[in-house]
Structure 1
Amino acid sequence: MRDLEGALSTFHRVGFAILPSLVPRAAAGHLRDLVEQRYQDPATRSASPEQDLLRGDVSLMRMFEYDRAFRDMIDYTPVADLVDGILGPDCHMISQNALRIPPGRGITRWHIDDELFFPFLNTLPSMADADRTIPCYTVNVMIALSNIEDEHHGPTQVIPRSHLSGRRPAYTPDLPDTPVSLLARAGDAYLVNSQTWHRGAPNQSDRTRYLLTTAYGRRFVSQRFYPFVNYRMPEDVPAGASGRLTRLLGLHEKGPYG
């Protein structure tokens, strides 16, 4: 039995939370094989920029379009329960991408995943107050699809409580705390507040690092599917979906503004 309340408390307090053994290892391996299959597909490799299937040769975009196994991960329990607890019961998925980081590569720049929502925080006293929390508008759920058990494997690194700093990291940042490496085995997951400073350490091993990343936002946060206004979700993606998955895909009931 998972301590979801404890995970929620940790997430709000330090800006991230770890969920070990979220996905069975065999299922994580299947997803990893699908990521590699899509990467090697000639249609992916030759896609035009307008199709937006591959960015920087490491990020595979909109995995829910490729295989239903990825679509179903959007509503995976208990992580979807945690997301609803963080963002509210009317949230939705705003992106789902896969990272394929070969040896020698890495998304090594410290960054946040969205706009800086609370720039005024750095003007307030008592930033080290352990009881301080802020609203969360977007959260990224990262699922390791390969073992990332050592610093050399290029783990995700985070700065605890940096979501409370009220600033974004510079290219060479003055880190407000010591980085924490989120070492993982295939199937482990971690939730990261979009305002938490993080990066992917350089992969200095001899094997490729695989990660599935699904981002969720509150209802007022737009889904991020290029080309945005003109994006149309393929009809086979929502086909057969019901209940919460339908809403997480963005098929909301009528509400304020429309």
Structure 2
Amino acid sequence: MNGPHDLARAAEAFHENGFVVLPSIIPVDAAEHLRVLTEQRYQDPQVHAAPEELDLLRGDVSMMRVFECDPAFREMIDLEPLVTLVEALLGPDCHVIAQNALRIPPGKGIINWHIDDALFFPFLSDTPTVPAVGSIPCFALNVMIALSDIDDVQHGPTQVIPGSHLSGRRPPYSSDLPGAPTSLLARAGDAYLVNSQTWHRGAPNQSDRTRYLLTTAYGRRFISQRFYPFIGYRLPDGVLEGASARVARLLGRHGKGPYG
């Protein structure tokens, strides 16, 4: 990780805006290594030929659970200072709920506006005033690390609507919204955190180069992990080999709790 980051200020900005950008989280050569691994996995014929129940590739752009395929991806799960910020936002017993690598070629994009999964606070849409910053807890968030330069809107950056995590509403599932969104432009190695309730999308990639992004989603302890096929999922042998206690917990090895 390059350079200092003010995590208290980052947490405040995250609560206020529904996202925060942290530049230079990993060196450019580390981002390049992950980009090469992502491309190699995409080019692997076995990934494309795998049966659907293995859930290795979705929509021809998203490679699922990449922590299974190379230790370099697993290392990103407890990357500092990201993981300390995530634990400050979600609690010390939070865990990873997904980790996917995105490969968005020219002409493609996850272009429809959406939130991730459930709408947690629908009552907010009926409140006469905007809730105080930090008064609405975050239950889940996505950490996105740029593996290639996405420094122009033509490259298809993640776009967000600041403050939309406090709206208590879903966006219309459309590629168009009134007003101008904020584009999270990034260089390879930059990272940004996005609240699961923040309206966001991937703008269409209108450039001549592929966009690469590593996304690791975290949730509070009571948010279930989303490793397909869910109840039948088992971590592959070797994934936890040499892992720290923190990584093991982030991948689901929790201690006993109030329900079991």
User: What's the counterpart of residue 178 of structure 1?
Assistant: 180
Give the drift of 1:235.
2.1
For structure 2, list consecutive stretches of 5 or more residues without a partner in the other structure. none
Shift in CA distance, 176/165, structure 1 to aligned 2, threshold 3 Å: farther
Supply the AA of the counterpart residue of 2:239. V
Take 1:176 and 1:151, find their aligned partners in 2: how far apart are those partners?
17
**Structure 2 residue 221 is the aligned partner of structure 1 residue 222:** no
- Map 1:158-177 onto structure 2 (within 5 A): 158-172=160-174, 175=177
Of 54, 58, 62, 1:59 maps to 62
Give the equivalent residue in structure 2 for 1:32: 35
Secondary structure, counterpart of 2:88 in structure 1? helix
Residue pair 1:13, 1:131 contacting (<8 A) in 2 also: yes
Secondary structure of the corresponding residue to residue 52 of structure 2:
coil
Tell me the distance in 2 between the aligned counterparts of 1:210 and 1:133. Answer: 34
Q: Which residue of 2 aligns with 1:246?
A: 248
1:87/1:217 contact within 8 Å kept: yes
Which of 178, 184, 209 lines up with 2:211 in the alignment?
209
Q: Which of 37, 45, 50 is the aligned partner of 1:42?
A: 45
**Structure 2 CA distance for aligned equivalents of residues 66 and 100 of structure 1:** 16
Instruction: Tell me the alpha carbon deviations over residues 185-237 of structure 1, each in whole angstroms, 9 at most, x when there is no partner.
Output: 00000000000000000000000000000000000111001000000011211
CA distance in 2: counterparts of 1:85 and 1:16, whole angstroms = 14
Change (3 A) 1:149 1:75: same
- C-alpha contact 2:68 2:239 (8 A) present in aligned 1: yes
Q: Distance in 1 between matches of 2:128 and 2:148?
A: 42
Q: In the TM superposition, what is the alpha-carbon distance from 1:2 to its structure 2 partner? A: 1.1
Question: Aligned-pair distance for 1:173?
Answer: 7.9
Q: Judging changes above 3 Å, is the alpha-carbon distance between structure 1 residues 96 and 132 closer, same or farther for their aligned structure 2 residues?
A: closer
8 Å CA contact 2:112, 2:175 repeated in 1: no
Alpha carbons 2:15, 2:133 under 8 Å: kept? no
SS at match of 1:99: strand
User: Of residues 5, 9, 17 in structure 1, which corresponds to 2:8?
Assistant: 5
Q: CA RMSD in A?
A: 1.4
The amino acid across from 2:109 in the alignment is G
Question: Aligned equivalents of 2:178 and 2:137: distance in 1?
Answer: 20
1:95 to 77, 95, 98: 98
Check 1:185–1:48 CA distance in 2 against 1; reply closer, same or farther (3 A cut).
same
* Matched residue SS, 1:116: coil
Percent of residue pairs identical: 69
- Aligned residues, how many? 257
1:77 is aligned to 80
For 1:241, what is the secondary structure of its paired residue?
coil
TM-score, L = length of structure 1: 0.97
Contact 1:74–1:245, Cα closer than 8 Å, also in 2: yes
TM-score by length of structure 2 reads: 0.96
